[in-house]
Structure formats: C-alpha cells, structure tokens
C-alpha cells in the first residue's frame, strides 16, 4: 500500500507549525528575560526579570494562539464545522 503525497505534506506542515510555535514561545520569553536581567543590573532591582518573563510568556502565547487560529480557520470551499465536528446551522438549513 502506497502513501499519498498529501499525507506526507500534511505531516510536514504539522511538524513545521509545532516547531514554529515552540520557537515563538522560546524567543518571546528569552528576549523578555534578557531585557529583564539587563534592566535589573542597570537599576539594581530584582523583580523586573520576573515581570518581563510573564509578559514574554503572555506575548508568546498570544502569538501562538493567532498562528493556530489562522491555520484552523475554514478556507474557501471548506464547510464550516462547529467544535463538535457537526456541520454549522447555516449548512443544515440549506
């Protein structure tokens, strides 16, 4: 039995999305922490790194959410489905 090319393409697209989301989170948190450490050293404080860590995590999570939402939104020609996998009410009425 031979695999279809679209199966491999979907697998690679999914792996690329997972990698991109992971890198987005790491870069957001890493840059925010680096800025926090630099500011803590400059001003002699010890709390800016913690605050900026959480801000970087929120920013990275928001960016990941946007990426996932953009990938999952229905494309032209696709039927809309609700979260249960059922066809939307618009399709049932027609």
Closest CA to 35 of 47, 45, 49: 49
Alpha-carbon span 46 to 42, nearest angstrom: 11
Question: pLDDT (tens digit, 0 to 9) for every residue of the chain, 94 residues total?
Answer: 566 666 788 888 888 989 999 999 999 999 999 999 999 999 999 999 999 999 999 999 999 999 989 888 776 665 555 556 555 555 555 5
Residue whose entry in the numeric block shows the structure tokens 């957001």: 28
pTM over 0.75: no
Domain boundaries, given as residue ranges, for the chain: 20-67
Q: DSSP letter string over 29-55?
A: HHHHHHHHHHHHHHHT-SSHHHHHHHH
81 beta partners: 87
Q: What is the DSSP letter of 73?
A: S
């Amino acid at each position: 039995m031979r695999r279809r090319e679209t199966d491999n393409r979907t697998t690679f697209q999914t792996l690329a999305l997972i990698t991109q989301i992971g890198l987005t989170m790491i870069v957001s948190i890493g840059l925010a922490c680096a800025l926090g450490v630099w500011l803590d050293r400059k001003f002699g404080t010890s709390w800016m790194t913690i605050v900026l860590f959480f801000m970087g995590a929120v920013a990275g999570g928001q960016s990941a959410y946007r990426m996932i939402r953009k990938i999952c939104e229905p494309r032209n020609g696709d039927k809309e489905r609700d979260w249960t996998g059922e066809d939307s009410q618009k399709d049932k009425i027609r």
